[in-house]
Amino acid sequence: MTAPEADLSGWTATPFTGAGYTHDVYRKGAGPGVVLIPEIPGIHPGVLGLGNHLVDNGFTVAMPSLFGKPGKPKTVGYTVDVLARVCVAREFAALATNKERPVALFLRALARDLNASTPGKGVGVIGQCFTGGFALAAAVDDSVLAPVLSQPSTPFPLTGAQRRDPGMSESELATVAGRCANEGLCAIGLRFSEDGMSPRDRFTTLKQRLGDAFEVIEIDSRPGNEHGFGKMAHSVLTDEVREIDGQPAYEARKRVVEFLTERLT
């Protein structure tokens, strides 16, 4: 059995401009809104499979195409090429610590726009891998009620400071922590236990600042783990999902859908 995948069938693309940046946004579904930020190398078939799953569970999904070619399958060469491009893009500030990233401003504008055109109390935002932390940075905006950080990997964890960095500026984190303390904002973080790209230190920082409002789902990927996850297991909601009850990534995806439903409806 392989991870769920899909193509672009049924998705409509429209350019959206926010904070001076313009990206095509792929949209599908009805119901409360969820911004689904693709992982590197882009809106690949696994991300589309996740998007369709959210649509099937009653959400309107908006996927901004921040990099890569939508619908193109993931290969090593393609991934490396996209990674080289995003590493030097000012919009993402891949290595910077304590940084407000321009992409977060774009995502807040997109969240507000999606919230204005969908039912529900607010919107969810799911970030993955390179974009994982962008979901929490988007929650500076009041329209975001359900941020999900799946294996957040930015800034790239090359130093201790980068491993501990929450992926946003201190000002942004203080705002999000205030929302958690005073408005009942909650967030979910997901990672594999041995994933060096999404370090445990980053989750420790977020747990210290957000407390019980930050729900951590850590899946065992140690050698010999019960479910056979490899030491390179990384993408919780896409590559590692097998639609079998009890499979930890599948159960994590179920919890994300439950969380979105609880917070948005």
Residue 2: inside a domain: no
In this prediction, residue 115 carries a pLDDT of 98
Residue 114: inside a domain: yes
Owning domain of residue 60? 14-264
Would strands 123-128 and 144-150 be described as parallel, antiparallel, or unpaired? parallel
CATH of the domain at 46: 3.40.50.1820
Determine contact, residues 126/37, Cβ cutoff 8 Å.
yes
Residue 8: inside a domain: no
Provide the 8-state DSSP code for 86. H
Distance CA 20, CA 2 (A): 39
List per-residue pLDDT tens for the chain, 265 residues long.
899 999 999 999 999 999 999 999 999 999 999 999 999 999 999 999 999 999 999 999 999 999 999 999 999 999 999 999 999 999 999 999 999 999 999 999 999 999 999 998 999 999 999 999 999 999 999 999 999 999 999 999 999 999 999 999 999 999 999 999 999 999 999 999 999 999 999 999 999 999 999 999 999 999 999 999 999 999 999 999 999 999 999 999 999 999 999 999 9
Distance CA 248, CA 227 (A): 8
Distance CA 263, CA 162 (A): 31
pTM for the full model? 0.97
Residue 4: inside a domain: no
3 state SS of 250: helix
| Count of structural domains, the chain | 1
Determine contact, residues 261/26, Cβ cutoff 8 Å.
no
Residue 1: inside a domain: no
Rounded to 5°, the CA angle 7-89-54 comes to: 30
